[in-house]
Amino acid sequence: MITEPDKENEEETISGENNPVPALLMCPPRFYDVSYVINPWMRGNLGKASLSLAMQQWQKLCRVLSGMAHVLLVEPVAGSPDMVFTANAGLAHAGIVVISSFYYPERQNEETHFRRWFTDAGYRVADLPREIPFEGEGDALFSSNGLRLWVGYGYRTRESSHAILRDLWAIEVAGLHLVDPRFYHLDTCFAPLKDGSLLYFPPAFDKTSVARIEAYYPPAQRIVISEEDAMSFACNAVNIGKTIVLNRISSELECKLKVRGFQVIQVELSEFLKAGGAAKCLVMQLTPE
Ligand code: ARG
């Protein structure tokens, strides 16, 4: 079932390439909880997320993003508490969506619900075999010019998925090996920004991957973040035009982003950090800007 919070934008198409207003997919946290442990953030937090506070924080994020984008909603499902992290629904590009093939059985039930949403929305839907895990936009991010797809691997997504993505869209795919379990998805430690720069936390990657990143982004385009900001999910940022929406960050990083001309909107997302996610994980991009 599809519901839309913003009736004013109803007439706009959601998968059209020429849509000037970005479309985002979110999922209300009605059944959100930390009810299993599949990453280090969840350890010690079982049952500790406040549902009412999570709802307030999510609504604030949704309100902020609705001012800049067309936010579409997928109905949450009882028993799939992590469905709220729609970045893991799959990867959508050029009218095709690759539905995630979740690594952990705990999240595999979500696949059916996301697949149904995309089918109803008119996407061409592609699936990966179960033995090739791929966790969607959580591990796959386009460079700002849209020419290169960076794909993380090591914890969830398998490297063998990369060639499938490359062939499906005829795009350049560059793998990045994640080596710190706290940063188990690429979008927890790597954020290409719309001005061509990159926000990232180098210790989350192996040496070869850091070299690959540095060969692509010249020094002036690299914004290296501190461990403290990385632990606050600073890279887990939603960037729409000149605006960046993220969890709380240090004033030093906020300043660096402002100097680059970005407006920075911080939304407290403490309840979602308990499951290992923040702003970007709660959102899936449906259209390229
Ligand atoms: N508990 C979820 C998991 O471990 C959090 C997912 C966060 N999503 C993301 N795109 N980083 O799968």
- Asked if residue 129 is part of any domain, the answer here is yes
Strands 96-99 and 198-200, by their bridges, are: unpaired
Residue nearest to atom 6 of ligand 1 (CA): 277
Q: Which pLDDT score is estimated for 287?
A: 74
Are 190 and 200 in contact by the 8 Å Cβ rule? The answer is yes
* pTM above threshold 0.85: yes
Q: Is 94 left (phi over 0), alpha (psi -120 to 50) or beta?
A: left
How many CB atoms lie under 10 A from the CB of residue 167?
10
Model pLDDT, residue 288: 56
- Chain-centre distance of CA 172, in angstroms? 20
Is 235 in contact with 191 (CB distance < 8 Å)?
Answer: yes
> 149 in a domain, yes or no?
yes
Residue 78 sits in a domain whose CATH number is 3.75.10.10
* pLDDT averages per 10-residue partition of the chain, 289 residues: 38 45 96 98 98 98 97 98 98 97 98 98 96 98 95 98 96 98 98 98 98 98 98 98 97 98 98 98 84
Q: Which DSSP symbol is given to 245?
A: E
Nearest CA to ligand 1 atom 1: 275
Q: Considering the domain boundaries, does residue 95 fall inside one?
A: yes
| CA 84 / ligand 1 centre spacing (Å) | 9
Mutational pocket test of ligand 1: of 185, 190, 274, the residue with most ligand atoms within 8 Å of the beta carbon: 185
| pLDDT value of position 19 | 43
The number of domains in the chain is 1
In which domain, by residue range, is 42 found?
22-191+271-285
Question: What are the φ and ψ backbone dihedral angles of 113, each rounded to 5 degrees?
Answer: -70, -40
Q: Looking at the DSSP assignment, which residues form a beta bridge with residue 151?
A: 140, 175
Instruction: Please check whether residue 264 lies inside any domain of the structure.
Output: no
Catalytic residues: 185, 281
Look at residue 165 and tell me if it is in a domain: yes
User: Ligand 1 mean position to 88 CA, how many Å?
Assistant: 7
Q: What's the confidence (pLDDT) of residue 21? A: 87
H helix count then E strand count, the chain: 8, 16
36 CA from centroid of ligand 1 (Å):
12
Taking the CA of residue 278 as centre, how many other CA atoms within 13 Å lie in the half-sphere pointing to its CB? 27
* DSSP tag of 278: -
Distance 255 CA to ligand 1 centre (A): 28
Q: Which amino acid is at 62?
A: C
With a Cβ cut-off of 6 Å, ligand 1 is lined by: 38-39, 42, 82, 85, 87-88, 107, 138, 185, 187-188, 275-277, 281
Q: Does residue 158 belong to any structural domain of this protein?
A: yes
In a domain, 175, yes or no: yes
